[in-house]
Chain A
Amino acid sequence: MKGQGLIKGLGITLKHFFQKEITEQYPDVMPELAPRFRGCLRFQFEKCIACGICVNNCPNDVLSFETEKSDKSKKKKLLSYSIDFQYCMFCNLCVEGCPTNCLYFDHDFELSSFEREDIKMIYLRPEGLDEAEDSQAEPEEQEDKEQKQIEAMLKALQKNPQKVLSRLLEGEEDINILSELIQSDQKTAGKIAELMIKDKEKALKVARGFINKEKKNRAQQEMDGGKGGDNDV
């Protein structure tokens, strides 16, 4: 019977009329990107050993760098590194070749700019890098040490929060509130532990933030509870 196909088509569109929309509201809601997503190519100056593999791997001459022969050591000294991003094909060949992982793609994909010159990214030698290299303080070891400290702190925090927090905060009430929070929420505990080791001032600020928020929450709950006729507090 002619016309059956037409009616079937109408049925399909009608079915979809009531289905959930699949639109991503992009600028308002950022898309979820896969971990491997290649957005903008970034460079870490400290890690680069100026081997030139990335430049050789690049199909499109995007990468270039300048070096200087150092007097003290045999190592070449990297002066600047530039990424002419307008020619990049996002093929990942430079990142795969890099022996020290100093090149990486981040998730920033909004790469348009008004000027052609803005696309080119030039990394200059950061000041103070020479001294850091000379002192030869192994940054990895330091990091490890810090990590251990943070872990220890976290344990202490969970075991006996009042005592640990009294080093940070003043006021009985605040300490109690925060310790309750820490025991109930792992994330908060981790954050505060990390900050207490790294930067005490910031830790104080963050802790105050948490306490104020919690206080507000409680006040809100009381209000709501009060309306319901619960006048215990």
Chain B
Amino acid sequence: MLETDIYTVNVGPIHPSTHGGLHVEAIMDGEIIQDVVVHLGYVHRSVEKIAEGKTYQQFVPYTARLDYLATNLPVLGYCQAVEKLLGIEVPERAEYIRVIMAELSRIASHQIAISATGIDLGATTGLMYGMRDRERIMNIFEMTGGQRLLSSYIRIGGVAADIPDEFIPAVKSLVQDIPRMMEEYNGLMTGNEIWAARMEGVGILAPETAIQYGVTGPNLRASGIAYDLRKAEPYGIYDRFDFDLPLGKRGDSLDRWQVRIDEIGQSGRIIEQALKAMPEGEIKAKVPKVLKPAAGKEVYHRIESAKGELGYYIVSDGSSKPYRLHVRAPSFINLMVLPVICRGGVFQDIITNIATLDPILGESDR
């Protein structure tokens, strides 16, 4: 036998496929991965410390910068947490607008996940198609919130402004096109034999392991566990909508990928229902200029973000600024499972696994 040696390969922090500043140290035996060590913190901004120096309203735009690909979801989570803390009732119309914006964000985030997986696996054209479709959502964000990527549109107590007239036709045509988009992604990538071979059986995440490691979101559902906070613990008005949870069977990369594509379709269904049921009325509750929750009050509010369970733990000391704010970032906790699913695979599987776990480093590093 030839003597072999173990060597390390540093994937990142500057690498085409790490979706931001992620540093993965791969300990390799030839092409086989022995272990993977994840190093984080390259985009750490100490958001939790910043929050302690800002008023409740001032922190809203910061939350958009956590998961910048699904910009409305972290904002929604934070605003709902503060509303829970203060007992603010949000007007009906605002709730519906919020649901539409949140689901649009989820679609946008999944489209990034899909197209980024495409480029990571070498299907450059897949990236372009995903980005092309996402552009329409960005246009909708621009017309409602004024910004394409980080529109701080959802506010404590409602939304910043009523939807413009072009909004409903634009969303309707987008929702109509969703089946075509899904068909295209599936046709170009999922059905492709090379694609399937690269993903099938790669990075298998058993359901028990997933729960132990606190994995949530599409990654957990791909392992076959029907756990979605929109159904398990409906926040806002999610209990009014009828939608399915796409589930995986094997818990491998292909399942994670497929679940994301199918979730786009389900989000489309929710938006359709919300558009139909949206009432007229106020878009923002009467919120005092200075928000001062009772001292000692605390809240843990969690929503189903595009990446998983996004939780905000806020402790108030009676002042206008939070005493302590903690973000339970789904990407941070989902990434923990990367070494588990990478072990024993070949080098290229690291790329596949990072892509299908879909971490967003702005959120995981905070």
Residues of A within 8 A of B (CB): 2-6, 8-9, 11-13, 16, 22, 33-38, 57-59, 89-93, 96, 105
Contact = CB atoms under 8 A, between A and B. Distances in A.
Q: Which 6 A-B pairs have the closest CB atoms?
A: A91-B61, A59-B58, A5-B191, A34-B143, A36-B146, A38-B146
A90 B150 contact: yes
B115 to A, nearest CB: 14
Interface string B181-195: 000100111011111
B34 interface: no
A34 B139 contact: yes
A59 B142 contact: no
A4 B192 CA distance: 8
Given A6-B192, A13-B188, A33 B142 contact: yes
A96 B150 CA distance: 17
A22 B58 contact: no
A9 B58 contact: no
Most chain B C-beta atoms within 10 Å of own C-beta, residue among A3, A58, A92 = A92
Contacts of B145: 36
B61 A36 contact: no
Contact of B143 (A2, A5, A12, A36): A36
Which DSSP category, helix, strand, loop or mixed, fits chain B's interface?
helix
Interface residues of B, number: 34
B172 interface: no
Contacts of B143: 34-36
7 contacts: A4-B191, A5-B195, A6-B194, A8-B192, A57-B58, A59-B59, A96-B160
A90 B153 CA distance: 11
B188 A12 contact: yes
Contacts of B187: 8-9, 11-12
A9 B60 contact: no
Given A36-B161, A38-B146, A89 B61 contact: yes
Nearest to A32: B139
Most chain A C-beta atoms within 10 Å of own C-beta, residue among B147, B161, B164 = B147
A26 B142 CA distance: 17
A4 B193 CA distance: 8
Nearest to A13: B125
Contact of B150 (A3, A34, A36, A89): A89
B191 A9 contact: yes
B58 A90 contact: no
A38 B187 CA distance: 38
A184 B58 CA distance: 54
Contacts of A96: 160
A93 B161 CA distance: 12
Contacts of B45: none
Given A57-B58, A91-B61, A96-B160, A34 B193 contact: no
B273 interface: no
Most chain B C-beta atoms within 10 Å of own C-beta, residue among A16, A36, A37 = A36
A119 B16 CA distance: 31
Interface in B228-251: none
B57 interface: yes
A37 B146 contact: yes
A66 to B, nearest CB: 23
Given A12-B184, A13-B125, A93-B61, A3 B193 contact: yes
